[in-house]
Amino acid sequence: MEFKLAAKAAAAWPSPAHALALRGETGGSRVGFAGFGSAATGTKALRLRAASNSATPVAKEGRVDQSETVTLGSIRQTLIKLEDSIIFCLLERAQYRYNADTYDSSYFHMDGFEGSLVEYMVRETEKLHVQVLHPIADSININKKIWNLYFDELLPRFAKEGSDGNYGSSALCDTSCLQALSKRIHNGKFVAEAKFQQSPEAYRLAIEAQDPVQLMELLTFETVERAVEQRVEVKAKIFGQDVSTAAPPARKIDPSLVAGLYRRIMPLTKEVQVAYLLGRLD
């Protein structure tokens, strides 16, 4: 499968020379990366074999949480904590080179599995989570877009070119990054539930009209978004500072990349919110 960079993203981030290496290597869409899994250490010619490790389904309860735990304030605090998780995941991955073989299915062999090491790792670490939301939440999953965002737009911009042989570690870090991004973006379901509970009448009209544009206007807070961008850039500067170097300190990752990433994350979080709200009265 071949992917194209979104024009918006290309404007936000410079295109690296090795981005082209991604074409055709990241086509996995059979993913849902909510869980966490085991590590594998790579070698140049990957001939990895592992026991099948399917996640055990967890019973789901399709009920709406009407308690005070779903408040906009508390969910925004969760989103702020997830910023740290995302930045630390990116910093972990940035210590390895791009390692193209991690994404090349011809370098990875597993009986009964067609795909790359990273696709295998993500699939095997997948888990189901219990939710306390309206049942519509279960049908909303934009992991394919998150996969494309990470592998097409983000990773080639922050991973150094070339290979260092750490394919398993790279795949493990990629899996953690995808999980953190997925968790953050799908938390939009909780944000939307909190907003609905806070102003049910305003949202009810837009939901009954099945009007995604009006819903998008209602749930958007530009000042909050600008504050998020500024905060994550500052965090990336501080967390990614290499203290072993003399002034000016070297950065393990370009802080503007993280701000750029959030300019892509927030619209996806809002997309999840709109999808949730459109089905909220079903």
State which of residues 15, 80, 221, 250 lies at the interface with ligand PRE (CB under 6 A): 221
Could you say whether residue 266 binds ligand PRE (CB under 6 A)?
yes
Residue nearer to ligand PRE on the CB measure, 60 or 226: 226
Could you say whether residue 100 binds ligand PRE (CB under 6 A)?
no
Could you say whether residue 274 binds ligand PRE (CB under 6 A)?
no
State which of residues 48, 79, 236, 274 lies at the interface with ligand PRE (CB under 6 A): 79
Task: Give me the least distance between CB of 273 and ligand PRE, in Å please.
Answer: 6
Could you say whether residue 258 binds ligand PRE (CB under 6 A)?
no
Q: What is the Cα–Cα distance from 237 to 195, expressed in whole angstroms?
A: 32
Amino acid making up residue 195: K
List, as own/partner pairs, every contact residues 235-238 make where C-beta atoms lie below 8 angstroms and the sequence separation is at least 24, other chains included: 235/83, 235/84, 235/87, 236/87, 236/90
Task: Give me the least distance between CB of 178 and ligand PRE, in Å please.
Answer: 17
The mark string for 166-205 relative to ligand PRE (x by CB under 6 A, - otherwise) is -------------------------x--------------
Which of 88-96, 103-111, 148-156, 266-274 is the region at the interface with ligand PRE (rule: CB under 6 A)?
266-274
State which of residues 9, 219, 261, 274 lies at the interface with ligand PRE (CB under 6 A): 219
Could you say whether residue 225 binds ligand PRE (CB under 6 A)?
yes
Task: Give me the least distance between CB of 65 and ligand PRE, in Å please.
Answer: 18
Residue nearer to ligand PRE on the CB measure, 110 or 202: 202
153 close to 84: Cβ distance less than 8 angstroms: no
Could you say whether residue 213 binds ligand PRE (CB under 6 A)?
no
Residue sitting closest to ligand PRE (CB): 269
- Name the residue with tokens 């990241």: 26
Q: Which is nearest to 237 in space by CA: 105, 72, 117, 83?
A: 83
Task: Give me the least distance between CB of 64 and ligand PRE, in Å please.
Answer: 19
Could you say whether residue 228 binds ligand PRE (CB under 6 A)?
yes
Could you say whether residue 224 binds ligand PRE (CB under 6 A)?
yes
Could you say whether residue 78 binds ligand PRE (CB under 6 A)?
no
Residues forming the site for ligand PRE (CB under 6 A): 76, 79, 191, 219-221, 224-225, 228, 266, 269-270
